Structure 1
Amino acid sequence: MVEKFLIGTYTKQTSKGVYEIELDTDNKKLKNLTFVAEAGSPTYVTLSKAGILYAIDKESNGDETTGGLMVYDANVRPAKLLQKVLSPGSSPAYVTVDEDRQLVYTANYHTGIISVFKIVNEGKLELLDEVKHTGNGPRPEQQDGAHPHIAERTPEGRIVVCDLGNDTVTTYDWHNDQLSEAAQFNCEPGFGPRHIVFDESRGLAYLVGELSSNVSVLQYDQATGKFDLVETKKTIPADWTAHNGAAAIRLSSDHKFLYVSNRGLNSIAVFAIDSAGRLTLLENISTEGDFPRDFNFNADERFLIVVNQNTNNATLYERDAQTGKLTVCQKDFVVPEGVCVATE
């Protein structure tokens, strides 16, 4: 069986934008890197059920920089450009589609702005509302101001925003095409919240901190949108003293295992989850490359794909569903400046 994935990239060296790769599950092999769409450093991409590709875009004209989204019809190859949604300033860090409400959310790390767009004709976008975060944390290297890194739908339909710069996780209500704050969780200073995943069955969320290289278990109250801290674990060994930035986080569909990428240690941290939702670190397995940002499961979660930005390669693992542990199948598949792995 062949499964396809979209790869978002930086375009500082050889990459031209968004690519597609194939996973041959029978032969346990990645193959056929294919160019899909041109964009300026599309560091995050997502595909709607209608086959519309929303890709981060950054463009420069002299001293002027604009950032936003490229909207493509990805039902054809190469993908057909439908719309550019750009504004002055740097590009967002995250984009996702809310299929139920036919909305698109972006979080802009550089400007502090969270945007909500309505999907209109043929997948094009119309801006509905924006909020701007403020504040800062104690770590000078990345907490000089607000830096929202993800805007995503919660299980019950709110919008959650993790702000790496001011150490907050904010939940927003969405009514009458407007965002309004429902609750805010304050992380420990310097935690640097980056991404979050939910276990609705247990009423829990798992929050990864980029700056602290920690992952926290949070109790989540769907009635109020509030979070409460349960516990926090390290994603790196206690004796690791060099720089590390935790990045992506994925939860297995059986809610028994949690995975986090480490940039610096260059590993995937694998955690077992007990019946109460608490974590035990099982292993840190090498990504066989430098600076892994994003990774993803295939459809049945038998495989996991990670891209290493600085070494231009993707690594394929086979995942043991019983133990949660990973085994390298392939480590030298060329992907230029890869940073995002999105399912098709």
Structure 2
Amino acid sequence: MLEKFLVGTYTKKTSDGVYEMAIDTDKEQLTAPNLVARADSPTYLALSAAHKLYAVDKNAAEGIGGTTAFDLTKSPAEILNHVFSKGSSPAYVAVDEKRQLVYEGNYHTATVKSFAIQADGSLALADVITHQGAVGPAPEQTDGPHVHYTDLTPDNRLIVCDLGMDQVTIYDVSDDGKLSLVSTYQTEPGFGPRHVAFNTQKNLCYLVGELSSEIATLKYDPTTGTLTHLQTLKTIPADWTEHNGAAAIRLTADGQFVYVSNRGFNTLAVFAVQEDGTLALRQQISTEGDFPRDFALDATQQFAVVVNQNTDNATLYRRNATTGQLTLLQKNVTVPEGVCVVFE
């Protein structure tokens, strides 16, 4: 059986855009990457149920960036439209199937945007919010707010991570994509909120701090749309003194294990979810490469795939459903400048 997935990339060296790969579950191996959509540094991807691809993209010559809509039912993928604006390209894009919206978070321009999905899958701007305010103490924060994540809560609000402001904000979203602020959660200074994962069974939110290399367990109150701190743990050993940036986070479908990638320490950290929803570290396993920005679990939850940006390789693991621990199956599979992994 082949389980297909897409890989978003930078295109600074040899990559040409978005690639498709697969796990051969019988051989327990990865297939070679195949280019399916040309784009300029499509570093984050979102796939709709209609098989439309929404990819971070830019036109460097014109100094504009944004999101490009592709029709993946065509081969090669057909461009439906670009929704670009002045400045650098975004850091995150997500699909809202219920309201037929797409959300975009821009690290450089500190904007949160919503787009309406048109009948053909193309996008039209619905709303935009620009973050302003005090920033954290870390060097990466001093130049202003940095929106790094825009995706849905379990009750279909929009949750936004601002790495620069050390804030997580939650918005209500109207059917036509208008955003209205519900709550703001302030992390510890220098935490650098990057990505979240929700445990719907326990009304919890797991928040990754890129700059602090930490993961926070937060209680989510769906009635008020607010977050309350419960626990913070390191994603790396206490004696690690070189640079590290915590990056992607994934929660298993059964809500029992959380995985976080570490860029610098170059591992996947495996946490077990305790009865009260707090976390306990169970494993640190090498990603067999440098700078693992993203990884993903397959639909069966038996495998995990990580891409290492700086060493141009992907790594495949088998996952133990009982212990949550990972076992290396394959490494050194060439993937140019891999950044994002999205299973189809």
Q: Please say if 1:68 is aligned against 2:66.
A: yes
Are the aligned partners of 1:143 and 1:166 in contact in 2 as well (CA < 8 Å)? no
The structure 1 residue matched to 2:101, chosen from 89, 92, 103, is 103
Aligned residue in 1 for 2:29: 29
Q: d(CA) in 1 for partners of 2:35 and 2:178?
A: 37
Where do 5+ consecutive residues of structure 2 fail to align? none
Of 87, 90, 93, the match for 1:92 = 90
Does the residue aligned with 2:120 lie in a helix, a strand or coil?
A: helix
Q: Deviations over 1:188-222 (max 9, x none)?
A: 00000000010111010100000000000000000
TM-score normalised to structure 2 length:
0.98
Is 112-121 or 72-81 further displaced after alignment? 72-81
Amino acid across the alignment from 1:158:
R
SS in 2 for 1:111: coil
How far apart, in 1, do the equivalents of 2:119 and 2:322 lie? 45
Residue ranges of structure 1 left out of the alignment (5+ in a row): none
Alignment partner of 1:213 is 2:217:
no
Q: In the alignment, is residue 112 of structure 1 matched against residue 110 of structure 2?
A: yes
Q: 1:149–1:162: 8 Å Cα contact kept in structure 2?
A: yes
What residue number does 2:149 align with? 150
Counterpart in 2 of 1:170? 169
1:164-191 superposed Cα distances (whole Å, 9 cap, x missing partner): 0000000001136421110000000000
- The one-letter code matched in structure 1 to 2:326 is L
SS in structure 1 of the partner of residue 63 of structure 2: strand
In the TM superposition, residue 143 of structure 1 has moved relative to its aligned partner by 3.9
CA distance in 2, matches of 1:144, 1:84: 28
How many angstroms apart in 2 are the aligned matches of 1:143 and 1:21? 39
Distance 1:297 1:76 in 2: 26
Match of 2:160 in 1: 161
For residue 234 of structure 1, what is the aligned residue in structure 2? 234
Tell me the distance in 1 between the aligned counterparts of 2:321 and 2:59: 43
Provide the rounded CA distance (Å) in 2 between the counterparts of 1:287 and 1:170.
31
The 5-angstrom pairing of residues 1-344 of structure 1 reads: 1-61=1-61, 64-135=62-133, 136-175=135-174, 177-344=177-344
Given that residues 137 and 144 in structure 1 are in contact (C-alpha distance below 8 angstroms), is that contact kept between their aligned partners in structure 2? no
Q: Distance in 1 between matches of 2:302 and 2:60?
A: 41
AA matched with 1:286:
S
Counterpart AA for 2:49: K
AA at the equivalent of 1:283: Q
Q: Offset of 1:46 from its aligned partner?
A: 1.2
Residue type matched to 1:80 in 2? E
Distance 2:209 2:260 in 1: 10
CA–CA separation in structure 1 for the residues paired with 2:74 and 2:311: 30
Q: Counterparts of 2:144 and 2:333 in 1: how far apart (Å)?
A: 37
In structure 2, what is the Cα distance between the partners aligned to 1:251 and 1:177?
27
Letter in 1 for 2:302: R
Contact 2:17 2:37 survives alignment (8 Å): yes
Percent of counterpart pairs with the same letter? Answer: 56
State the distance in 2 between where 1:336 and 1:102 align: 32
Q: Which amino acid in 2 is paired with 1:139?
A: A
